[in-house]
Amino acid sequence: MYTRFGGFLPLAATALFASTSYAQMNRTDSPNSVCLSYGIDFVNSGFYFIDSKSNASFTTVSQFEGCNAGTANVLLVDPTGTEYMCTDAPTQPDDVSQLSTCPISKSQMFSGVWSILLLGNNGNGNPFAYERDITLTVAPQTTTTITNTVTYSVTTTPNTTITVPSTVFVTTTFNATTTYVKPSATASQPVTITPKATTVTSTRVVTRTKHAWTKSQRIITSTETASCTVPPKPQRPDPTCHIVPTKIPLPTGLTIYTRRADRVINVADAKRRFQDAKARRNAMLEERDLVGRAADAPVITITAPVAVNYTTSFTAATTTFTSYALTTSAISTTLSPPTIYSGIYTATITGPTPTKTAKTVSYTTTTVTKTLYAEWTYTTTVTPTASITACRRRGGHWDLKKN
């Protein structure tokens, strides 16, 4: 069981807040100095995510304005009232980010309303005590992988065959089958002898072209350095403190007025208050412009190093091939019957050898392989260790996209 107290309003500073603007004051030590604090990475009434798998210490960054030379004590108070003494923060110079490290790791934290207290004597000026209440959601960070797509465009050409009839004429000459015998002493003409016909084959070759496709993906790997984003200084300073610290004494002359005296808070009650506060403060987020102030990102997006191939097909105009259907037409010629004179020698003449022409069609297929090329750039983000530390000290955060 723990005891947690409410708020305060310093009597001496009440009139000063009414008459003093938030502008920068004189840098020399002044007994009338009013020291103001501003949250950079965590702003009052803000909602933030904390990675419960991280063993890093919880840190907070503040800026001060109008303060005398000195330091501010920084305390972190959990929803049950337990206090953690963080490292002190210098209050000068004005508007310079000051980092405080708390003795608790993010993995030890839990969801609820946490408070950051800043207290100091402000030299010989007015003492101060401010309270920054933040609502934390503590859970494991998740990772989402995005796979890019590389598109190949393939054009397909359909083929069709048209059959054209073709007639081959074969001419054959036959010897006479009838002989006329005339009574004559001398044969007036020789007998023509026709040799057996020979066949000549004519072949027409038709070549068809077939396309085959291969894919080639070129991956270009580039490296870029992550950038540090520092949230702007809030327009309003931290509100006054309503929690009475127990680990350090109050600044001299300072009185804290609590909202609820001696209220007992347990973990169950803290969780109920966390849910109620979250519902009430949702509308305040846009007004506070807290985008990009998250301590940790709930989700890290990773781009897969290999893209998925996707093929888009297009149909081109149809290619037409011609096929011949061969038919044979025979033409027969019979020689006129010769006249033979009996008892007389008849001379013979061998005529030219007749030819027969046969036509055939032969088809061949030629495969032409074409390669489709695609280029995709895979970008990796590096974050130098020294740069991470410098960014954190300024209250900034790194771009959370990972490739």
How does residue 286 score in pLDDT terms, banded at 50, 70 and 90?
very low
Number of Cβ atoms within 10 Å of the Cβ of 337: 12
- Residue 93 preceded by cis peptide, ω within 30: yes
**pLDDT of 133-158, one tens digit each?**
999 999 998 888 888 777 777 777 78
Number of Cβ atoms within 10 Å of the Cβ of 350: 9
> What's the pLDDT at 187?
59
Strand 71-77 to 36-39 pairing: unpaired
What is the set of domains in the chain, with CATH numbers?
2-140+232-297 (2.60.40.10), 155-202+313-360 (no CATH)
Torsion, CA 281, CA 282, CA 284, CA 289, rounded to 10: 130
Average pLDDT of the chain to the nearest whole number: 75
Burial class (CB in 10 A: 0-12, 13-18, 19+), 37: buried
Q: Tokens 């993010």 belong to which residue?
A: 106
Q: Is the pLDDT of residue 318 over 90?
A: no
How does residue 316 score in pLDDT terms, banded at 50, 70 and 90?
confident
φ/ψ of 80, rounded to 5, equals: -95, -5
Which residues does residue 327 pair with via DSSP β-bridges, in sequence order? Answer: 167
Overall pTM surpassing 0.75 (yes/no): no
> What's the pLDDT at 127?
94
The listed range with the strongest mean pLDDT (44-53, 182-191, 341-350) is: 44-53
> What's the pLDDT at 313?
73
**pLDDT of 146-195, one tens digit each?**
887 777 777 777 877 787 777 767 677 667 777 766 666 665 667 777 77
DSSP state of 188: -
Mean pLDDT is lowest, of 261-270, 272-281, 288-297, 366-375, for 261-270
How does residue 24 score in pLDDT terms, banded at 50, 70 and 90?
very low
How does residue 255 score in pLDDT terms, banded at 50, 70 and 90?
confident
Phi-psi region of 108 (alpha: psi -120 to 50; beta: other; left: phi over 0): alpha
8 Å CB contact between 222 and 378: yes
> What's the pLDDT at 143?
84
